[in-house]
Amino acid sequence: MNKHLQHLEQTLLAAGRRHPPSDAVPYAFEQRVMARIRAASADRSDVSVDWIRGLWKSALAALAAAVVLVGVDRVVPGPVGLAATDQLSAPALEETLLASAAPDDGLW
């Protein structure tokens, strides 16, 4: 693999020597290009910036979803025929939820 890269590098250098730069290239063009590459690589080296941006975007998306769900809950009516007295009280709800976890000796 390393020989292949060396061969490619030699080929590119030879092609560059055969075609010298023209006068149309702006002054210090290669320094400006290399400075931009260095600046871009320095910005990308700090991974925490990417994480912070991603977390803020996801937090804003979660907030927007919560606002939409609360709005839908306010607009859409509840189930038909369910009066306030038909709802489960706290002890009845607890008993219902724990019924599946309790062992039942009557099944055997």
Q: What is the DSSP letter of 26?
A: P
In this structure, what token pair is assigned to residue 32? 């400006």
| 83 has a pLDDT exceeding 60 | no
Domain boundaries, the chain: 47-73
- Which contacts of 7-11 are long-range, i.e. CB under 8 A and separated by 24 or more positions? none
Q: What is the pLDDT of residue 108?
A: 55
| Average model confidence (pLDDT) across the chain | 80
Does residue 62 carry a pLDDT above 60? yes
Confidence of residue 60 (pLDDT cuts 50, 70, 90): very high
Q: What are residue 102's phi and psi, to 5 degrees?
A: -80, 135
- Residue 84: pLDDT above 60? no
Per-residue confidence (pLDDT) for residue 1, from 0 to 100: 64
Rounded average pLDDT over 18-46: 80
